[in-house]
Structure 1
Amino acid sequence: AYRETVTRAAEAESTYDREIGGRRHFARVKLLITPNDTNAGVAFTARVNAELLAEAEVAAIQRMVHRTLQSGYLVGFPVTDVKVALVDVERHAGETTIEDFEAATALAMRDLLRRGHSVLLEPVMRVETYVPEEYLGSVVNDFGGRHGLVQQMNVSGDGTRTITAMTPLTAMIGYATELRSMTSGRGTFTMELDHYAQANEAIHQRFLGDNWQSRFYRDAA
């Protein structure tokens, strides 16, 4: 499955101000999002004065941040490898509840992902292929055609070569059949998810259409 992430730091501020059942509900939050390291997931920090928010309110804002990141801005894939910081809040005495902070957070998060210029991430697999020596060149060349990056090659006592490569999952379609053909059925491989990397333009266009950046980020600051 694909993921989404942001490519630049961005701030977003949202105010929730409603009258419900004759009572005013008010909350304002300001959030900062920045790219995180690969495979680092989602990190949340609160940078506001502890006197402004109760622990339960901070926890509620954090839960809403994580909840909204389950569905990204572009396609709705989960968002990963980002840092989100709560940098400012405003409340009105007698008019602000935990639910109001949650509502303001949800509004700000959508804008935050847009301003952060979200992109799609594709799964990159760690592939280990085991082949006799005579097929080594063909297998290595095949990884090049699959946009794979060969990281390591080892040889075992019986002469079997192990090729370790990082390859986009989409490029591995049909690999089992091709490997059998290249090695006369003598090659085997294992594959596991290693990390997510920014998808190429063709994948973005497949999901989002042509000129997707101008449509999604036309008015992003």
Structure 2
Amino acid sequence: MRPILAITIYAKSNMDRWKIDVALAELSQLDKTFSHRTDPESGHVVVAGEGERQLRQLIDRVLHDTAVTAELSEPQVIYYESIRAEAQAEGRYIRPSNYAQVRILIEPRSRDEGYEFSNELGDNRLPAPFLHAIDQGIQDAMLGGVLAGNELVGIKATLLDASFHETNSNEMSFKIAASMALKEAARRAKPVLLEPLMSVEISYPEQVMGAIIQDLNHRQGRVEGMKTVNDIHLIEATVPLRTMLHYEADIQSFLQTHVTCIMQFKRYEASPLKLP
């Protein structure tokens, strides 16, 4: 499962950031449900995972074990990008001492299948290090999509053509050319922003049913079922995660009654959000 939420840890010093990073690296060997990275601009550690409760428990453990005091960001929903059509594009990187030309085809895949690279040139048309560099250049470019800079997922890339110069070609040139080709092909392939949807089960007093449904509609949710189990009233719905952060606290404050909510990740789906 891909991470759906991220929290940034604002440590007070470089030493504290180092302690947090080391502790997370050790935990990640045992727990594969989260990932962490250092933001290249701020230098702060960002932890991503499957839900807010998981992330807060994990971060609390790390801060306790390292005896570090830090502030935390609000949870940030993780978006991805994908494509809805096939497209071809060429990337050319030509300089006085660099030469690489690459043409690729990209096709949409199931988002669960991930990335695939295919070579239609045959084994002898291009030196193996250049072929590897093309594959790597495509994957590097997929880390920042063409809509809002989110990671591109669910793509098959096929190398259709490539040319090199006996003395001026190198691996870096082919990585750059492949990256250029991927970006241009993605712009032509009907790119789409993906957001996480959650399966939601809400239990509530019967007298607030109408308000619960109205609130779910406001949160762009889709009610998919209603039932009563042992005198407990339940609504089942599919709702974008971005509208459900802090849901229990917000809805209980609004209705002044006890409401519980169980959320599980369901799938990523095209988002209606308007991008600038």
The interval holding the TM-score normalised by the smaller chain is 0.7 to 0.9
Counterpart in 2 of 1:198?
270
Secondary structure of 2:96's aligned partner: strand
- Counterparts of 2:121 and 2:223, CA distance in 1: 46
Letter in 2 for 1:179: I
Counterpart in 2 of 1:130?
203
Task: Show structure 2 runs of 5+ residues with no match.
Answer: 1-77
Given that 2:248 and 2:259 are in contact with CA atoms closer than 8 Å, whether structure 1 keeps it comes out as no
Letter in 2 for 1:68: A
Counterpart in 2 of 1:217?
none
- Counterparts of 1:147 and 1:106, CA distance in 2: 36
Length-normalised TM-score, structure 2: 0.62
Given that 1:12 and 1:112 are in contact with CA atoms closer than 8 Å, whether structure 2 keeps it comes out as yes
- Counterparts of 1:134 and 1:43, CA distance in 2: 52
Given that 2:117 and 2:157 are in contact with CA atoms closer than 8 Å, whether structure 1 keeps it comes out as yes
Counterpart in 1 of 2:92?
15
Q: Structure 1 residue 29: deviation in Å? A: 0.9
Secondary structure of 2:178's aligned partner: helix
Q: CA RMSD in A?
A: 2.7
Q: Structure 1 residue 138: deviation in Å? A: 4.3
Answer yes or no: is 1:139 the counterpart of 2:216: no
Given that 1:14 and 1:105 are in contact with CA atoms closer than 8 Å, whether structure 2 keeps it comes out as yes
Letter in 1 for 2:240: P
Once the two structures are superposed, the pairs formed by residues 48-63 of structure 1 within 5 Å of their partners are 48-63=121-136
Given that 2:126 and 2:163 are in contact with CA atoms closer than 8 Å, whether structure 1 keeps it comes out as no
Given that 1:39 and 1:196 are in contact with CA atoms closer than 8 Å, whether structure 2 keeps it comes out as no
Deviations 1:84-142 (A, max 9, x none): 22222222334432222112112212211222232322222222223355555543443
Deviations 1:175-213 (A, max 9, x none): 32453257653321122433322222xx32xx41xxxxx
Length-normalised TM-score, structure 1: 0.75
- Tell which deviates more after alignment, 170-179 or 83-92: 170-179
The alignment of Structure 1 onto Structure 2 pairs a total of residues equal to 199
Counterpart in 2 of 1:76?
149
Letter in 1 for 2:166: A
Secondary structure of 2:172's aligned partner: helix
- Tell which deviates more after alignment, 100-109 or 162-171: 162-171
Overall identity of the aligned pairs, in %: 28
Counterpart in 2 of 1:97?
170
> Higher relative contact order by CA 8 Å / sep ≥ 6: 1 or 2?
1
- Counterparts of 2:228 and 2:111, CA distance in 1: 30
Q: 1:181 to 1:42 in 2, by over 3 A?
A: same
Counterpart in 2 of 1:218?
none
Q: 1:75 to 1:150 in 2, by over 3 A?
A: same
Counterpart in 2 of 1:35?
108
- Counterparts of 2:160 and 2:236, CA distance in 1: 43
Letter in 1 for 2:79: Y
Q: Structure 1 residue 7: deviation in Å? A: 2.8
